[in-house]
Amino acid sequence: MSYRSTSIKSKWVKTKWLLKNANIRKYVPYTLLFNRSNLSIMLSRYSTVYFKPTGGTGGFNINRIKKLGNGYQVQHNAKKNRYATLDALYGQLKKRAKGGSYLLQKGIQLATANGRPFDIRVMVQKSNNGVWKSTAIFTKVGMPGKVATNYHQGGDLGYFNKTLSKAGFSKTSSERKEKDLKKLGKSVGQIFDKHSSGFRELGLDVALDNKGNAWILEVNTRPQFYPLKHMKDKSMYRSIMAYAKQYGRKK
């Protein structure tokens, strides 16, 4: 892509930046690099663990590991497999990693809207005078039975307040959440600036758990805009594009 905004592919690098900040750390689910001993640590702490490529995107190759009474279940897309021992599980994950780097992350039980799990995208952009702003917030409502909510995995984009209302949030608490998450987006922009120069846009993937707590699943440095074009209300797309033009991004 030809426009000017720094891109960092490694989710591990970006997660470590967030963890270094005392105010933001609490929003980051516990994350470790995939290896045999970290797999054992993660599964002794959490009943659900996500296994995802360090350089992945689009919700591809996202696996959810669940501890069962007798063994482990791994789900990729809608397909579930069971492994009796930690060694069998490790062998299978190693095979799926195909030599690439993967992360293990505490699984967040996503809040649901009409029974469908969703997470949130907070779009953050920096204007020419260097000020970060959360320019859009919307939800990604996952296809039932799938592990990832991404648009590329059949997820639907939703309006923030509408989705939260379906999830049982009152108007007041939904507006409060929107404000908090936009503030979080701005803080993440400022943190990224301390580690590298040239960032103009970021897309935070934020999960809400069943208590309504926010968790940053990842920070995208090349967030996609075009799915927003398909929403009935084009105002979010327009305001994002107005900012994007300032750094030469055209679509």
Ligand X SMILES: Nc1ncnc2c1ncn2[C@@H]1O[C@H](COP(=O)(O)OP(=O)(O)O)[C@@H](O)[C@H]1O
Interface residue list for ligand X (CB under 6 A): 29, 50, 52, 56-60, 62, 105-108, 110, 119, 142, 148-150, 205, 207, 217-218
Count the residues of the shown chain that bind Mg ion, applying the rule CB under 5 A. 1
The span from the CA of 235 to the CA of 249, in Å, is 17
> Which CB, 52 or 126, lies closer to ligand X?
52
> Which CB, 89 or 217, lies closer to Mg ion?
217
Alpha helices in the chain (DSSP H): 11-19, 36-45, 86-97, 160-166, 171-195, 226-229, 235-245
Question: In this chain, which of 124, 139, 140, 205 binds Mg ion, going by CB under 5 A?
Answer: 205
Smallest separation, CB 171 to ligand X (Å): 25
Q: Contact, 18 vs 28, CB < 8 A?
A: yes
Smallest separation, CB 129 to ligand X (Å): 30
Nearest to 162 by CA among 152, 150, 175: 175
Smallest separation, CB 146 to ligand X (Å): 8
Nearest to 116 by CA among 55, 153, 167, 54: 167
> Which CB, 50 or 90, lies closer to ligand X?
50
Q: Give me the residues that bind Mg ion (CB under 5 A), please.
A: 205
